[in-house]
Amino acid sequence: MSSLNLDPTLVARARELAALAAQPVIDLAHRHTTVSVERAVLRLAGLTGTDPVTGEGRTEDRVPWVNRVVDAVRDQVGLESGVALPVWHALASGAAPDLQTLAEQVGAGTARFAVPDGVQAERAQEAASAAAAAGIARIDANRRRREELVALHGDPPRRPWIYLIVATGDIHEDIPQAQAAARAGADVIAVIRSTGQSLLDYVPEGATRTGYAGTYATQENFRLMRAALDDVSAELGRYVRLTNYASGLCMPEIAVLAGLERLDMMLNDAMYGILFRDINPKRTFVDQRFSRMVHARAGIIINTGEDNYLTTADAVDEAHTVTVSQLLNETLAKEAGLEDWQLGLGHAFEIQPDLPESFRLELAHALLARTLFPDAPLKWMPPTKHMTGDVFRGYLLDGFFNLAGALTGQGILLVGMMTEAVVTPWLSDRDLALRNVRYVLNAAGNLAEDFAPPPGGFIDRRAHTVLTEAVDLLGRIADHPEGLIQAIADGTFGITKRPIDGGKGLGGVVELGPDAYNPALELLEAKETSHA
């Protein structure tokens, strides 16, 4: 595998500073909960469905029962203690025989909640823990099933894995397209979400056919697509992985649903929602920690979103911010229990093509990431910002991108389309794009073992420059008492400023009280401790 001879002292200093910069965010996440974290607890315990009297028309517009219950608890007793104690106290007291019935009482306006203490609190904790444990057991079973299927069908015969996006808005149209893409060579199918779903403070329900520039992320859609890819995996003799998006205002819930339905990868970045969807930083950092703990338990690979910075900032001038973000994402992910093999850290091929030595610069940036994170399945993103509509030039750029991925040993290669950022690609565009990838990987897929940039050469010097700039920036971030939170407010990443008290979803953040109890966190943290 190609790598650089980076200064080990500088690398160690980078990780030390990343830990210092991230600590205020970690502390914040430990002190707070959110409405989505609490809804995720109810989903783990098996509560599904929607209130039939809310929403107009489509099932996916109705308010889920988890939302109704959490809102009722918050209105009556607050969420400082979490949702579990009031809910399972009500169940243990005989108010309802099960969660579903209790939710229907909430819908009817007859449910009454209280925060128990003493023996009653202990009884509620035991019942809540058993309910959450049942959901986690299902996630564990899905992880074992994935391992069985990989052993049965086999993994793709080479890295990088070919990652292709399929999303029509209609899950029943997505399925045959996803299966066709797998037959044409895709190893990972990503079902991109409907535009704006990250800003919905609820997860739609059921199989959906009405998404915009994407398909709604729902539990039923996850189930349907996973079953379809299991069928094509058996047909092809290799396990085809499924990706969706655990980001936005429902990050924890979507992570739980992904675990319950055996998804394999999830887009899950510590800062993407803050920077590019203006979601409140507190909300995002609390939600991302819980969601990553679920991903760790489920054996899901996360994909981070550093590539997005380069759509708003210059890919050369701001290259060090990508490295800084990768190091911070690594720190936060490991604190949540994720392992190196689960860290699909992001970066992108976005340098202006007309810049002299642009390809050498791309190789330097890609090889820096590969060397810093040798055991991570890095996710390498194709050119988008500089696609002009000239499909011949675009096809050539994608070929260079594929070659850079092969040369630098990337783990996950997102398929670039020559019509990227111009129109929604046609099926024929996808076929041509997959041919491009297949040609390059067949012709040069093992070239990484021969590619060794000389010490002191252009690529080596550029990589060390970027790493040095990253360490300098991490030092400035770590020196501030608020660390990463202040860096985001200052516009450090993607030249976008997001203050700690701004953005969407702040009203859903709650500071925990002394008697706070979250059975899912308790079980997930116990597992993490046992692995330490």
**Catalytic residue (one of 163, 216, 239, 272):** 272
Q: What own/partner pairs with CB < 8 Å and gap ≥ 24 does 522-525 have?
A: 522/129, 523/129, 523/132, 523/133, 523/136, 524/136, 524/293, 524/294, 524/296, 524/297, 524/337, 525/293
d(CA 11, CA 467): 8
d(CA 53, CA 172): 27
d(CA 287, CA 252): 6
Side by side, the strands of the sheet bearing 161-165 are: 343-344, 301-303, 265-267, 241-245, 188-190, 161-165, 412-414, 379-381, 346-348
Which residues have a Cβ under 8 Å from the Cβ of 306 and sit 6 or more positions away? 269, 322, 325, 326, 329, 345, 346, 347, 348
Active site residue 307: yes
User: Which residues is 504 bridged to in the sheet?
Assistant: 279
**Catalytic residue (one of 239, 245, 287, 379):** 379
Active site residue 379: yes
Residue 302 amino acid letter:
I
d(CA 20, CA 8): 19
**Catalytic residue (one of 174, 264, 287, 307):** 307
Q: From the CB of residue 56, how many other CB atoms can be counted at a distance below 10 Å?
A: 6
Residue 283 amino acid letter:
R
Which alpha helices (DSSP H) does 51-98 contain, by range? 65-77, 84-92
Tokens matching residue 383: 């050119």
Active site residue 314: no
Q: Taking the CA of residue 140 as centre, how many other CA atoms within 13 Å lie in the half-sphere pointing to its CB?
A: 9
Angle at the Cα of 278 from the Cα atoms of 275 and 284, rounded to 5 degrees: 80
**Catalytic residue annotation:** 272, 307, 379
